[in-house]
């Protein structure tokens, strides 16, 4: 084999590896948004669907929906559901509230993540409006009530894989917003702590 043929093969291999590395890098950046989109469309991992409008159809089946609230240790808020549970017919539009209070002496911005359990119900639990879609800023000592408007898709009545479900839990966890977390870490890092 000639040196010229070997050089061509080496360049082709190098080009192929560079293209593969670039493709993998692009996939890494796209993975999170693609995964979030997949979860919202399918309900995978307990992600709920986001509905543009309220439901117009109902079914007789009743589901108990429980509400859970958690707060990350780095967020000095009290966060809780105003009511612990509600019984709803499939397709029935429901409005409930969560309450949050800033226990600190400074304005704090938080954002909530959410899921439903059992995880297989994520595709039928539709939120029309929710505080979790936006950052929430609370002033020192401020307390607010935040609405969640939702319904459970009446198609659940025809889904045999969901026939055993009698209760769905909607769970939220509030975290300090990323921009504020970085700002709070800045002075500590600059001071050596």
pTM: 0.66
Distances (CA, A) of 89 to 76, 122, 149: 36, 17, 14
Q: Is residue 24 located within the same domain as residue 97?
A: no
Phi then psi for 73, rounded to 5 degrees?
-60, -25
Q: Is residue 52 located within the same domain as residue 36?
A: no
Distance, in Å, from the CA atom of 6 to the CA atom of 123, rounded to the nearest integer, reads 55
Q: How many domains does the chain have?
A: 2
pLDDT digits (tens, 9 = 90+) for 77-109: 999 999 999 999 999 999 999 999 999 999 999
* Residue-level pLDDT at 9: 84
Q: Is residue 21 located within the same domain as residue 61?
A: no
185 within some domain: no
Q: Is residue 88 located within the same domain as residue 160?
A: yes
* Residue-level pLDDT at 134: 85
pLDDT digits (tens, 9 = 90+) for 125-180: 998 888 887 899 999 999 999 999 999 999 999 999 999 999 999 999 999 988 66
Structural domain that includes position 22? 1-42
Q: Is residue 118 located within the same domain as residue 148?
A: yes
Q: Which residue has the tokens 């894989």?
A: 161
């Amino acid at each position: 084999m000639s040196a010229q043929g070997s050089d061509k093969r080496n360049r082709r291999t190098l080009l192929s590896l560079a293209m593969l590395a670039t493709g993998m890098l692009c996939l890494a950046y796209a993975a999170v948004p693609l995964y979030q989109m997949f979860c919202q469309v399918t309900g995978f991992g307990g992600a709920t669907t986001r509905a543009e409008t309220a439901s117009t159809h109902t079914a007789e089946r009743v589901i108990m929906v429980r509400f859970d609230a958690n707060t990350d240790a780095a967020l000095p808020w009290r966060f809780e559901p105003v009511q612990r549970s509600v019984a709803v017919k499939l397709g029935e539009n429901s409005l409930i509230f969560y309450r949050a209070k800033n226990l600190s002496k400074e304005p704090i911005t938080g954002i909530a993540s959410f899921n439903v359990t059992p995880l297989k119900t994520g595709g039928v639990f539709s939120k029309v409006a929710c505080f979790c879609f936006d950052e929430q800023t609370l002033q020192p000592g401020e307390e607010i009530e935040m609405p969640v408007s939702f319904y459970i898709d009446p198609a659940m009545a025809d889904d045999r894989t969901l026939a055993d479900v009698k209760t769905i839990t909607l769970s939220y966890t509030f975290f300090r917003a990323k921009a504020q977390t970085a700002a709070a870490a800045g002075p500590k890092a600059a001071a050596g702590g």
